[in-house]
Amino acid sequence: MNKAYRYRLYPTTEQKIMFAKTFGCARFIYNKMLGDRLDYYKETGKKLNNTPAQYKSEFPWLKEVDSLALANAQLNLNKAYNNFWNNRRHFGKPRLKSKKTGHCSYSTNNQKGSVRLDGNKVKLPKVGWVKLCLHRPLMENSTIKTVTISRTPTGKYYISILVEYENQILPIIPKNFLGLDFAMHGLYVASDEDDADYPNFLRKAEKRLAKAQRKLSKRQKGSHNRDKQRLRVAKFHEKIANQRHDFLHKKARYLVDRYDAIGIEDISVKAMAKHKKGGKFSFGKSVADNGWNMFTNILEYKLAWQGKQLIKIDKWYPSSQLCHICGYQNDETKNLSVREWDCPACGSHHNRDKNAAINIREEARRISA
């Protein structure tokens, strides 16, 4: 099995320069190879199989950086290029990488110990020993396969270390089930737990963030003051993202430790974010703030590590319309404004979201059986 660990790096000035060169070369070779492939296809109608080695004679400065970083850039391009040609409806056309996004990264491979850890330092090809914060050790008897070095828009450096280890996870027979119903403002409503009550980090920081972005828009492009303001805005966004990640990981860990199987609806968050109300996009910010897709991905792999499973219910399953006591289907609840209702058959009073979560739990139980 594979597992990734992420650590904060503290490079020296010389190492930052080498990282910047590698980021730039990896981006350049990706753009150059993509441009040549597109031009070749326009002229001949055929695919071009080019490699980074073909460009080193014309651009000798490519030899200064790790060759595996360029090779991995080629692999990323091949994947994007082939996905586009094999499934154009699902994958978009590969685009050129911009150096103005602020986020840079490159990957390299471990070959005969070229990447290794020693205390609070990591050895990287062409860079040497770089200091890092080893806040948790790697798994015992694991082998380092690849590492990815990245720089955030705030100027922080991180390393993601992918290790391979032997582990046989036996699937368990689920006994404890939980149903989660997506909630626009609270992340989820659980069948047997308290609601998530997502704190809406983006909404709380919205006024301060808008003020900082207005200042940024008034700064002259290329000026030192604009760079300082851009850094302030980037720190705002980074803090919001870190708060969101921390909240989602803790909630996922809490649920995974207590239940054998968790059921969720296989909804399209992208389509929900584009839902029109009164001629305007009203749900986009709320849907994007709570990070539902991120939360379900975290749930899925944390459950898989323990031999448990995440069960996705069909999005057309009428979880909000069914009475979880007698099974009566109430079509009036198709109206989203109906938050509570009484079952005409058995007279039970239902909270819309809680009732849906219980129905999702029972449907997950039925599917697993």
Residue 203 exposure: Cα atoms within 13 Å on the Cβ side? 14
Residues near 242 by beta carbon (within 8 Å), at least 6 away in sequence = none
What are the phi and psi torsion angles at 11 (to 5°)? Answer: -75, 160
What span, in angstroms and rounded, lies between the C-alpha atoms of 107 and 24? 13
- Annotated catalytic residue, options 66, 260, 300, 353: 353
Q: Is 279 helix (H, G, I), strand (E, B) or coil?
A: coil
Q: Is 319 helix (H, G, I), strand (E, B) or coil?
A: coil
- What is the rounded radius of gyration, in angstroms, for the C-alpha atoms of the chain? 25
Residue of 293, 266, 258, 79 lying closest to 187 (CA atoms): 293
266: annotated active-site residue: no
Burial degree of 177 (CB within 10 A; 0-12, 13-18, 19+): buried
Q: What is the full DSSP assignment across 2-59?
A: EEEEEEEEE--HHHHHHHHHHHHHHHHHHHHHHHHHHHHHHHHSS-----GGGGTTT-
**What angle, 0 to 180 degrees and rounded to 10, lies between the N-to-C axes of helices 292-305 and 224-256?**
50
What span, in angstroms and rounded, lies between the C-alpha atoms of 295 and 249? 8
Residues near 269 by beta carbon (within 8 Å), at least 6 away in sequence = 287, 292, 293
Residues near 286 by beta carbon (within 8 Å), at least 6 away in sequence = 184, 185
66: annotated active-site residue: no
- Annotated catalytic residue, options 260, 265, 289, 300: 265
- Annotated catalytic residue, options 181, 260, 289, 300: 181
What span, in angstroms and rounded, lies between the C-alpha atoms of 314 and 289? 24
193: annotated active-site residue: no
What span, in angstroms and rounded, lies between the C-alpha atoms of 236 and 181? 30
Active site residues: 181, 265, 353
